[in-house]
């Protein structure tokens, strides 16, 4: 996420490191590189210029605190200004209606249908809502089928009318159906177009007028950069939408849309899509995003994701097994599944401060656990519960069954044994022993 922009900003801010004080000359040199980095990320020229002017004004007006180096102070100022540029504070969606009606809008291919499902999943799992998805895209082949598949995936009802070609009538009937079945949120998936055109704008304006939604959200593909910002402005002029959804932030995103869009349309980014899974949706926090852009990670979001997947009852069972020395590969497999549910590995690693830079250029496969799972699944239930039974012939059978080598099976066993010892030491409070163990593992 924003790797290229992060790298260029880091190089730009590196100019001030080693300087004893902030001067007009070294600030000008730094901000020239910052502006270049923003333009390369497809940020609007005017916005990039205004941004660097604000940073310059603040930097030259600041007295460097004795505890801060000039480089550190500049990073803080850039971070604060980036946060403000992207909206300042996080804004949630309005769910006050009964039912609350959410209208999705955007161009074709921006990810509206998939995100409608993600939003429904988010609302039912985290807000205890009962959502109804309404299929109003009557033009794209298989659009209705896609929404039904998404609804089935997350366990949410989908309303559609294949015999009706009037999106306005379908939207009104969908809201009526929601009241009949007791759904308290209606998410209306509308048709996209390949470009902004009058027919499209008239249609969505008519739907908006007919259902008077609590929230109108504009879904934008963040990979399209400045084009996304221009499209958002065209939509906003007609619809006056309430917020923006940025999708595909896990892709090769330059960052221009995330940084520019709030400034251009004066509407907040409310959610971001960070992957293909239905759980890959996050509330947009400008300060956390600024941290990530500047390579500082996002520990708060990482902890929140871990807490969402944390099962207290399961943790208690595992604690008891560790105490009785009965922690097996089935338990290990459960831990792996919880980590996988947190999101794609590269995104998770990017949330750790400093890890983004360290992992630059490395291809972290989302299926990093696949060979481990294959090895564990090739074991018998008895072997998974009692790893000590794994002798040479059993290891040979497991390697053949999982498509791996005996060396890989041995490596997994060694790592599993070391992890089990560590977990037992942590549970017993043996901090000193644990430190010795970690040194031995190097």
- Residues annotated within a binding site: 106-113, 189-193, 247-250
Residues in binding site for GTP: 106-113, 189-193, 247-250
Concatenating the DSSP letter of every residue in 244-266 gives EEEE-TTSS--SHHHHHHHHHH-
Question: Is residue 369 classed exposed, middle or buried when 0-12, 13-18 and 19+ CB atoms within 10 A define those classes?
Answer: middle
Token pair of 122 as six digits? 């988010």
Largest CA distance in the chain: 73
What are the backbone angles phi and psi of residue 217, rounded to the nearest 5°?
-110, 135
- Sheet of strand 131-135: strand arrangement: 157-159, 131-135, 185-189, 100-106, 215-221, 243-247, 269-273, 281-283
Q: In this structure, are residues 333 and 374 in contact, taking their beta carbons and an 8 Å threshold?
A: no
Nearest Cα to Cα of residue 322 among 424, 216, 405:
424
**Residue 407 — left, alpha, or beta (φ > 0 → left; ψ -120 to 50 → alpha)?**
alpha
Concatenating the DSSP letter of every residue in 206-248 gives HHHHHH--SEEEEEEEGGGTHHHHHHHHHHHHHH--SEEEEE-
- Residue 377 to residue 352: CA distance in whole angstroms: 30
């Amino acid at each position: 996420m924003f790797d290229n922009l992060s790298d260029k900003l880091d190089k730009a801010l590196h100019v001030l490191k080693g300087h004893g004080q902030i001067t007009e000359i070294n600030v000008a040199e730094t901000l020239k590189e910052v502006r270049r980095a923003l333009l390369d990320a497809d940020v609007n020229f005017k916005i990039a210029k205004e941004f660097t002017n604000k940073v310059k004004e603040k930097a030259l007006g600041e007295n460097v605190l004795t505890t801060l180096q000039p480089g550190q102070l500049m990073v803080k100022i850039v971070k604060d200004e980036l946060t403000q540029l992207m909206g300042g504070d996080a804004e949630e969606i309005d769910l006050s209606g009964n039912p609350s009606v959410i209208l999705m809008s955007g161009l074709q291919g921006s990810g509206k249908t998939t995100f409608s499902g993600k939003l429904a999943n988010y609302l039912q799992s985290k807000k205890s809502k009962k959502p109804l998805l309404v299929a109003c895209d009557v033009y794209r082949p298989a659009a209705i089928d896609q929404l039904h598949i998404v609804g089935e995936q997350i366990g949410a009802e989908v309303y559609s009318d294949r015999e009706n070609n009037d999106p306005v009538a379908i939207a009104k009937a969908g809201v009526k159906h929601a009241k009949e079945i007791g759904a308290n949120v209606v998410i209306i998936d509308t048709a996209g177009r390949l470009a902004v055109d009058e027919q499209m704008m008239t249609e969505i304006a008519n739907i908006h007028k007919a259902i008077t939604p609590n929230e109108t959200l504009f879904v934008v593909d963040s990979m399209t950069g400045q084009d996304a910002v221009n499209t958002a402005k065209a939509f906003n002029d007609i619809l006056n939408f309430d917020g923006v959804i940025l999708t595909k932030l896990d892709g090769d995103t330059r960052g221009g849309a995330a940084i520019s869009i709030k400034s251009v349309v004066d509407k907040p980014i409310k959610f971001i899509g960070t992957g293909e899974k239905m759980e890959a949706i996050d509330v947009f926090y400008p300060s956390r995003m600024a941290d990530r852009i500047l390579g500082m990670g996002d520990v708060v979001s990482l902890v929140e994701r871990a807490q969402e997947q944390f099962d207290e009852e399961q943790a208690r069972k595992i604690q008891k097994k560790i105490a009785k020395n009965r922690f097996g590969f089935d338990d290990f497999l459960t831990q792996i599944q919880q980590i996988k549910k947190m999101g794609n590995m590269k995104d998770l690693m990017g949330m750790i401060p400093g890890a983004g830079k360290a992992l630059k250029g490395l291809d972290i496969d989302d299926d990093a656990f696949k060979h481990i799972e294959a090895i564990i699944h090739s074991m018998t239930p008895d072997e998974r519960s009692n790893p000590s039974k794994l002798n040479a012939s059993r290891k040979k059978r497991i390697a053949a069954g999982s498509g791996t080598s005996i060396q890989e099976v041995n490596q997994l066993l060694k790592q599993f044994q070391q992890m089990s010892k560590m977990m037992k030491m942590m549970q017993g409070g043996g901090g000193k022993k644990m430190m010795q163990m970690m040194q031995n593992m190097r």
